[in-house]
Every structure is written in structure tokens, then in C-alpha cells.
Amino acid sequence: MMADYTVRDQVAVIELDNPPVNALGSAVRAGIYDGIRKADRDPNIKAVVICGKRGTFCAGADIREFDGGKNGPWITDIGDFIDNMKKPVVAAIEGFALGGGLEVALFCHYRIALKTVRVGQPEVQIGLLPGGGGTIRLPRATGLKNALDIITTGNHVPAEKAAKMGIIDQIVTGDIIEEGIKFVKSKCNIDTSLVCLRMKTVKYSGDLDDISEAAMTKVKSKFKGAIAPIVCVKSVINSAKMPYEKGIDTEKEHFQDLRHSSQSKAMRYAFFAERAITRWQLPSGGNYKTAKPLPVKTSGVIGAGTMGGGIALCLITSGIPCILVEQNQQFLDKGLEIVKAQLMRTVQLGKLSTEQAKKCFTMLKPTTNIEDLKNVDLVIEAVYEDLKLKREIFEKLDRICKSETILCTNTSSLHIDSIATATKRQSKVVGTHFFAPSYIMKLLENIYGTKTSAETVATVMKLGKTIKKVPVLVGSCTGFVANRMLKPYSEEAQYCLEEGSTPSIVDTVLMDFGMPIGNFQVSDLSGLDIGFRIKREAARKAGVELSKNSRFFLGQRNCGLIEKLYEAGRMGKKNGKGWYKYESLNGKPIVDPEVTMLIEEHCRSLGIERRNIGSQEILERMQYAMINEGFKILEEGLCTMAEEIDVIWIYGFSWPKYMGGPMYYASQIGLKKIYEKVCYYHKTFPYSMHWVPSSLLAKLSQIDLPLSEWGDVAQGRKLVNKL
């Protein structure tokens, strides 16, 4: 049994024991169920304490069990039994009480917790609802409004706040088991039915239908396309609408439906993918197990633009002092304004108090003297994408900084070696690619060069976690993983335009799929001048002319629409016109007939016949081209597992988690179909290199292997006879 039963001073102590987080698998549930029945039967036992081993109560149901059909008592069976017990039962909580863990605690007559505890119902984040009585009992503990908020967001609630909300009865200090015993013994003479949540009514103010409608509207707009938040609202509302037992039975039905839904399966995959990618390894053999991160107690950022300012903000809000360097006072002042404005916004959103924000700001040391970086542990260079400039800066940093300092470059496309070779410490040079806006976006693409040491990698992987990002390690190539895959995706979007579609049709198809924003809206946000300059630079390097009227560029298919929009002065949202027009800087995209005319004229002049392109074709061309690139990335060893690619798309480009990421999506469609379509498009569009089928995709399309093994096949760790 995975719950220890001991007796101390006439109190039964049931300790959950399932490393690492005491997940509530069937054996643990059976252990608790047996324990409480034993305690109830034993006349020498006066009360019960339920707690967890290894400093934590319980992180909820064992998510891995949801794919199988494991049996054993359900949480509500345990709860029904406790509800009828005369002996008091207390949940003594340290660490976390999440999901099923909190539900078990809510079935206890009392809950005490250490101040450091966090409680919550995060099931919605894996496409579920709290199916162990949570939607029916939490509202009885804290009222409908709080319960709706906790259950639909899945956010953790710190102990003191939970106590104010009525979820925790008492905050304690000291040994949690001893405190539990002391507490529960003081309750032996109290009738347990008086404190049993089943007996309580759900508190709310206003009309229940209005509350339900408001909550539905909120979750539908906040979690577009996701089913679980809607079902969560329904079930929480049932707690006030239905008798207790009916509410619990309906909740169980909802839970089973969600558990089998494709959205929850994808989100559960994403949960484990996020953890799998922390087990990184370098081609040289260094890995997460053997490499030790260096401490980062002080830091520096070079470049106080929107990117650099945002990175500095990530550092100081995580408690790491930062020296922010700019080339002159004017740029520095401008950068500081950006940091201040973003800090203010954080205060407005309630994420930091004014006091905390002020304290953070004192950790920022602005300077125009790069020599001030000499003693910092780590520097992140965030100047614009110019190899010559970056090399100059690294050469300087190498001279100035102490020998231990790690030097990071926030490049979005340049090879790490091309920058690292400007130094005599290539082992300490690494790429840290942040995504705009750098303070908000969670992805941190860490890129190793040929000589980057495992210790350096370990340091930036740990730093990523410290500054609350999701760090993913990748190898170096043009554009790395994120932007390299984005390229064919965006190019296909433009080809669809010249073949007959429009920016708003393409964007609507993507948003209907679940993307929060369409390809052309993103392009308007970043600015069309960026795309134009990248192309111009590529042309310059190749020594050729960039011709907007040529259907070929560098031996490949070309769409000159960006050049034409740029020439027409359409820079994107910043000047109110790009692929769309905008009435203000915060305005919504409006279809602009001028752009439609421009596209039609473009086609006429080049003799491109326009046709109706269906949404299926738009989706397929954008996504399959990018998925094919993903397989090439795996094949080249730039990622070691397909999960890395999915996490990059979820956190870098907001791919809907309930679709699991592009590689997971491919696994659901079937690699045979994807491969056939890639071959078909390769034949149809022979001048787009991105349609050349990946040989790994070709191999994997012939066999049925789980996604978790694709990386192994790519790197020869798994040999498959048939291949």
C-alpha cells in the first residue's frame, strides 16, 4: 500500500507515500481508504491525520494512470466514508495540495497547513475538471466566485490566501504531523457533521444564471477553443443548483468524458513533454545529470531596446541584479522608460505590489560603460542582428569580464560559433533566444555552439527556470528551431495569397484551428520592414538583386508581396497599415481593399491565375511544410526529441496546448498521410525546398512508433529492423 499507517498518541497517522509528489494512484487511494476504515474500526483510535511524505501532501491524481483503466476506490469513496465518520479527520498539509490532493483534503473535516503551502485545482490545465468532488465541495468551502476562479484558471493559491478564503482552517508552524495530532485531538468532542462540507450550502450573491453566463463568457474568450473550462463552469454551477449527490455524480460523468477527450490527451502529453525536455543532452555527451550549473548572482544585459529591456526585467523581477548597458545616455533613458512602463503594467495586473516593483527597480543599474560588466556572473547581449557588431561586443566582453563569466547572445538566427569565435572562451558562449515581448513570452531557446560546455548549458537551463521561462536546448543552425520552422509556415501563407486567398481568410483558418492570432496579424505586429530587411540582407549576401517581380529568389519560389507592401509604405501596425489597416495602435485589424487590389495586381502582372483555396489546403500547406521541417531538424540532431519541438511551438508561438504541438498533431493525423501529402506538394510546388520530404519522415511513415521514440530513431539510439 502506498500510504503508511502508524499510530501516535491514539491518533492514526496516514502518510501518502508515492515518490516524487505522492500522486494519488490507485494504490495510494486504496491505502488511504484502508487506513481510514482501520482507524474507524479501532476503538483505541480517537482521530486521524492524513499527510504526505517527503515534504509534500499530494500533487493530485497520477496523470499517467488516466490512459489506462486502473481500478481501486475513487476519491469520492474515500470522501463518503470520512463524511460518515464520528472521529475527526484532519489534512495536515505541507508542500502542495493540488488536484485530487486538495479534493482529499476537502473531504477531511479540517485542513491545517504550513505557510509555504500552495493549494489548487490545476486539472483544467490538462483538459480535465476536478473529478473527485472538487467542483462540488470547493464552492462549499469558499463560495461560488472563488471556486469558479480557482477551478477555471487552475492557478495555485498560497496558504495564507487560502485560509482567508476558508479553504484552510489554520496556518501552523513546526512539524506538520505533530501539529496535525495536536489540532485534531482538540476537535474530538466536536460533532463532525457540523464541519462536514457536504452539509454546507454554497454561498453566492446575485442570480445564478447571470453568474453562470458571465463565467461562460469569460472562459470562452480567455481559453478560446478549450472544452474543459466550459465543463468546469457547468459543474461548479451545479454545486449550487443540484443536491450534493447529484452534483457529485454529474461531475464524475463530466470527468470521464473529458478524460477520454482528444484535448485532454494532448494536454497530458504536453505536461510530460515539458518535463521530458529538462532531460537535455549534448552531442559531446554532457547532460542534465552530470553537468552542474554555475551560480548566477549578478547579471548584465547589453542593449536597452524592447528586447534587452524586457530581458533585464525578467532578471530583476526574479531577484537577479542586472547592469543594463547602452551605447549612449539617450538610448539608455529610453530603455529605462520601457522597463518602468512594463513594471507599472505588472503592478496594474496585480502581479507585483508597488513596493515590490520599487525594490526590483533598485536592482537595475543603468550604465553607458561596458567596463561595468567586469564582475558579473553572466551577460546577455541583446543588440540588433548584426554579426559584425555582435562579434565586436563579444571580443570586448571577453577582455573585460572575469574568466568565469558566461556570455550569452540573444540572436534569433546567427550561428553561435560565428559569434563565439570572437572570444577565447568559446566553452562559455551560448545562445539565449528570447521571444518578443521578452518579458511575457515563456519560451527561451538555448542554443549550444560546437564548443559550449555542459556546465554553461546547465547554467542557462537553470537560469531559464529561475526567470520563469520554459528553456529548451537546441543545436545551432540558421533560425534555430523556432524560426527555421516558422519560415516555411509563413512562406506557404504568402503563396496561398498569390494563388487566390486573402490575409483575413488565412488568418481566420489559423484562428479557427486554435492559434490565438493569424500569420498576417503577427507579421503586422513585428513590422513588415523586418521581413523585407531579412530578404534584402539574404540578397546582399548572395550578391543578387531582390526583385519584387521575380517568381524566383536564390533558386527557389519567391513571393514579392512583402516587397510591394513595403514599397507602398505599409510597415505594419506601427504605422496603421500592413496586411490590414488599423485605426489606432491598439486597434483591431481591418480588411483593407487596397491590399486586396495590390495582391490582385501582383497576380495579374505575373500571370498567376487565382483560384479558390479551401481552408483544409491552407492549413495543410502551412502546417505540413513546417512539420516536414521539424523532422529535418530531428534528423540533423538539432533537437534530441520531438517533444522539444512541440514545447517550442506551444510557448514560442502559442500553438494551442489542447492540440499538443505540431509533432504531436502529426502523430494524431498519422505520419503516412503527412508523408504522402508532403510528397504531393513537393510534386506540385517543385521550386519550394521546404517540400523536399524529410528522410526521417519517410522512414517513420512506414512503421508505427510512438512520438517519444522518433528522436531515438533519428539519432540511431533505436534501430528498427524494417528501416
Among 2, 59, 159, 393, binds ligand TC6 (CB under 6 A): 59
How many angstroms separate the CA atoms of 434 and 109, rounded?
A: 47
Q: How far is the CB of 708 from ligand TC6 (least distance, A)?
A: 13
The residue sitting closest to ligand TC6, measured at its beta carbon, is 99
3-class SS string, 14-25: EEECCCCCCCEC
Task: Please say whether the dihedral angle defined by the alpha carbons of residues 121, 126, 131 and 135, taken in this order, is positive or negative.
Answer: positive
Query: Strand 11-16 relative to strand 3-8: parallel, antiparallel, unpaired?
Result: antiparallel
Q: How far is the CB of 119 from ligand TC6 (least distance, A)?
A: 11
**Angle formed at CA 158 by CA 440 and CA 150, multiple of 5 degrees:** 75
Q: How far is the CB of 74 from ligand TC6 (least distance, A)?
A: 7
Q: How far is the CB of 28 from ligand TC6 (least distance, A)?
A: 11
Of residues 15 through 34, those in contact with ligand TC6 by CB under 6 A are 20-21, 23
Q: At what angle do helices 208-222 and 228-241 cross, to 10 degrees?
A: 170
Binding of ligand TC6 at residue 64 (CB under 6 A)? yes
245: its cell numbers: 449527490
Kindly tell me which of 61 and 144 has the beta carbon lying closer to ligand TC6: 61
Piece in contact with ligand TC6 (CB under 6 A), picked from 130-138, 158-166, 375-383, 551-559: 130-138
Instruction: Identify which of 48, 255, 264 has the alpha carbon closest to the alpha carbon of residue 133.
Output: 255
Type of residue at 301: V
Of residues 336 through 355, those in contact with ligand TC6 by CB under 6 A are none
DSSP per residue, 190-204: S-GGGT-GGGSPPP-
How many angstroms separate the CA atoms of 702 and 75, rounded?
A: 43
295: its cell numbers: 551560480
Kindly tell me which of 3 and 571 has the beta carbon lying closer to ligand TC6: 3
**Angle formed at CA 419 by CA 418 and CA 420, multiple of 5 degrees:** 100
How many angstroms separate the CA atoms of 568 and 578, rounded?
A: 9
Q: How far is the CB of 494 from ligand TC6 (least distance, A)?
A: 40
Q: How far is the CB of 100 from ligand TC6 (least distance, A)?
A: 3
Q: Do residues 132 and 140 make contact, with C-beta atoms less than 8 angstroms apart?
A: no
Among 31, 52, 79, 122, binds ligand TC6 (CB under 6 A): 122
Binding of ligand TC6 at residue 61 (CB under 6 A)? yes
Binding of ligand TC6 at residue 126 (CB under 6 A)? yes
522: its cell numbers: 503577427
Q: Do residues 110 and 118 make contact, with C-beta atoms less than 8 angstroms apart?
A: no
How many angstroms separate the CA atoms of 303 and 331, rounded?
A: 9
Count the neighbouring beta carbons within 10 Å of the beta carbon of residue 709: 16
Kindly tell me which of 131 and 518 has the beta carbon lying closer to ligand TC6: 131
Among 275, 292, 540, 717, binds ligand TC6 (CB under 6 A): 275
Q: How far is the CB of 255 from ligand TC6 (least distance, A)?
A: 6
Q: How far is the CB of 272 from ligand TC6 (least distance, A)?
A: 6
Kindly tell me which of 99 and 660 has the beta carbon lying closer to ligand TC6: 99
Instruction: Identify which of 223, 84, 209, 232 has the alpha carbon closest to the alpha carbon of residue 151.
Output: 232
Kindly tell me which of 31 and 122 has the beta carbon lying closer to ligand TC6: 122
Quick note: the x/- pattern for ligand TC6 over 67-106, rule CB under 6 A, is --------x--------------------x-xxx------
Q: Do residues 304 and 344 make contact, with C-beta atoms less than 8 angstroms apart?
A: no
Binding of ligand TC6 at residue 132 (CB under 6 A)? yes
Q: How far is the CB of 527 from ligand TC6 (least distance, A)?
A: 37
Kindly tell me which of 20 and 569 has the beta carbon lying closer to ligand TC6: 20
Among 31, 88, 131, 531, binds ligand TC6 (CB under 6 A): 131
Q: How far is the CB of 126 from ligand TC6 (least distance, A)?
A: 6
How many angstroms separate the CA atoms of 443 and 583, rounded?
A: 31
Q: How far is the CB of 57 from ligand TC6 (least distance, A)?
A: 10
Q: How far is the CB of 464 from ligand TC6 (least distance, A)?
A: 13
Piece in contact with ligand TC6 (CB under 6 A), picked from 125-133, 178-186, 447-455, 657-665: 125-133
Instruction: Identify which of 641, 670, 266, 315 has the alpha carbon closest to the alpha carbon of residue 466.
Output: 315
Kindly tell me which of 374 and 465 has the beta carbon lying closer to ligand TC6: 465
Distance of CA 273 to the CA centre of its chain: 11
Please enumerate, as own/partner, the contacts of 339-342 that have beta carbons within 8 Å and a separation of 24 or more.
339/304, 339/309, 339/312, 339/313, 339/364, 342/309, 342/310, 342/313, 342/439
Query: Strand 47-52 relative to strand 89-93: parallel, antiparallel, unpaired?
Result: parallel
3-class SS string, 146-185: HHHHHHHHCCCEEHHHHHHCCCCCEEECCCHHHHHHHHHH
Count the neighbouring beta carbons within 10 Å of the beta carbon of residue 444: 27
Kindly tell me which of 131 and 578 has the beta carbon lying closer to ligand TC6: 131
Q: How far is the CB of 72 from ligand TC6 (least distance, A)?
A: 10
Number of residues that bind ligand TC6 (CB under 6 A): 23
Binding of ligand TC6 at residue 607 (CB under 6 A)? no
Q: How far is the CB of 63 from ligand TC6 (least distance, A)?
A: 4
Kindly tell me which of 183 and 223 has the beta carbon lying closer to ligand TC6: 223
Kindly tell me which of 37 and 275 has the beta carbon lying closer to ligand TC6: 275
Kindly tell me which of 268 and 602 has the beta carbon lying closer to ligand TC6: 268
Query: Strand 429-434 relative to strand 443-448: parallel, antiparallel, unpaired?
Result: antiparallel
Quick note: the x/- pattern for ligand TC6 over 139-178, rule CB under 6 A, is ----------------------------------------
Binding of ligand TC6 at residue 660 (CB under 6 A)? no
Among 32, 47, 63, 314, binds ligand TC6 (CB under 6 A): 63
How many angstroms separate the CA atoms of 591 and 602, rounded?
A: 18
Kindly tell me which of 382 and 650 has the beta carbon lying closer to ligand TC6: 650
Kindly tell me which of 131 and 366 has the beta carbon lying closer to ligand TC6: 131
Q: Which residues bind ligand TC6 (CB under 6 A)?
A: 20-21, 23, 59-64, 75, 96, 98-100, 122-123, 126, 128, 130-132, 272, 275
